[in-house]
Amino acid sequence: MQDAQNFYVYSISSDGYYSLGKYVDDEWTALVDWTESDLIDSGRNSENRIGLAAVGNEIVLLVNNVEIDRVQDGSFGAGQIGLLVGATNLGGPTIAFDNLWLWRAKATQKATPVARPTATPAATRPSTVKVQGGNASVTSESLNVRSGPGTGYPVVAALKRGDRVQIVGRTAASDWVKISLADSPEAWVASRYLEPDGNLQAIAVVSAPAPPPPATPRADVAYLVIENHIGRHITVQVNDQNFRVEGKVGDKPGTYTFILQGVGRYRVAAQLPNAGSHNWDLYVEPTSAQCANRQGCVAIGATFVQTYY
């Protein structure tokens, strides 16, 4: 970060996506669009190690000690480091952060980073399952095993490429499968990261556990809800004088929520899939009476809905 209008942003999200972008004179450019990766632990009480190597014009992104992407860009050669945490759903996140390391690369060094190994406490280390005689092989470098069929469920174990697992059930859509895991009665993985030995449709459909409970809405903030009916990613920026919150609106039709933290004018900039944009102001007022007969206004504790078709 050079100043408030010029910086890079490397982001990971709680639903398992990452991105890299830059602001140059307060104009946003995506260097890596929001991309899904199972390397990101996105369950409740998840823990992720984020790494970044910048040598010359090359920027290398790492998650949990594994290189996830790299790009070439020379807009900024030096600056400060910052940490930004935000929420795009009701309730807001609870975040703990520690252990920052910095290394200075030699002028002639290439960006081939080696992650610094550290031991994970036994109480939080995920177990790894490897079954002899299983009926499927893991095809991704790293694969989270979750307590239910979805990225909103907690991670209960970890797998790596080549591990053999025993599939014992699947969802009706076959996008998630249940595997045998001694330490957990509910162990699910995304089927696209497995290579079954036979026909997956021959596996029985089994019921899934109840999803984690939703967060309790807060009464001291307002909410902006983006309803995406386009079926492609929409990148949304919401900012005022004190903070900037960036987030993606997913590539499937659905509802996505941003928290507006206090009274004021918020600038909403939506970059649409066809390269167009929609820039508008949203005012947050203390009471609903102050929003009477006003467009683009929402009261504290209330929700403003913006729909894109």
Structure confidence by residue, pLDDT tens digits, 34-49: 888 878 887 667 788 8
- Considering the domain 136-202, what is its CATH architecture? Roll (2.30)
Residues 38/140, Cβ–Cβ less than 8 Å: yes
249 pLDDT band, cuts 50/70/90, is low
For residues 78-106, b (16+ Cβ closer than 10 Å) or e, as one string? eeeeeeeebbbbbebeeeeeeeeeeeeee
For 105-126, give the secondary structure using H, E and C: CCCCCCCCCCCCCCCCCCCCCC
For residue 241, pLDDT beyond 50: no
How would DSSP label each residue in 162-230?
T-EE-EEEE-TTSSEEEE--TT-S--EEEGGGEEESS-GGGSPB-PPPPPPPPPPPPSSSEEEEEEE-S
Query: Quick one: which of 191, 186, 140 has its CA closest to 163?
Result: 140
Q: What φ, ψ does residue 272 adopt, rounded to 5°?
A: -90, 160
Q: In what order do the strands lie in the sheet with 254-260?
A: 254-260, 222-228, 303-308
Domains 136-202 and 222-308 equal at CATH topology level: no
Residues 270/258, Cβ–Cβ less than 8 Å: no
Taking only the tens place, the pLDDT of each residue in 64-97 is 878 888 899 988 888 888 888 776 555 556 677 7
Average of per-residue pLDDT across 228-249: 59
Give the right CATH number for 222-308 from 1.10.3720.10, 2.40.50.220, 2.60.40.10, 3.30.390.30.
2.60.40.10
Q: Alpha carbon 168 to chain centroid distance?
A: 29
pLDDT at residue 107, rounded to an integer = 56
Give me the count of residues in the chain: 309
**What is the value of pTM for the model shown?**
0.40
- Run of H or E including 81: none
215 pLDDT band, cuts 50/70/90, is low
Task: Tell me the CA end-to-end span of the chain in Å, nearest whole number.
Answer: 35
204 pLDDT band, cuts 50/70/90, is very high
User: For the purposes of burial, counting CB atoms within 10 Å of the CB of 75, is it exposed (0-12), middle (13-18) or buried (19 or more)?
Assistant: middle
Domain boundaries, the chain: 1-120, 136-202, 222-308
The residues, ordered by sequence, that sit 6+ positions from 259 with a Cβ below 8 Å of its Cβ are: 86, 87, 88, 90, 92, 218, 221, 222, 223, 245
Q: What φ, ψ does residue 137 adopt, rounded to 5°?
A: -120, 145
CA angle 268, 272, 275 (to 5 degrees): 120
pLDDT at residue 133, rounded to an integer = 52
Residues 60/111, Cβ–Cβ less than 8 Å: yes
CA angle 75, 50, 212 (to 5 degrees): 125
Taking only the tens place, the pLDDT of each residue in 95-149 is 777 778 887 766 555 555 444 333 333 333 344 455 545 789 988 777 888 899 9
Token readout for 20 is 């890299």
Distinct helix (H) and strand (E) counts, the chain: 0, 22
Q: Rounded to whole angstroms, how far apart are CA atoms 128 and 163? A: 9
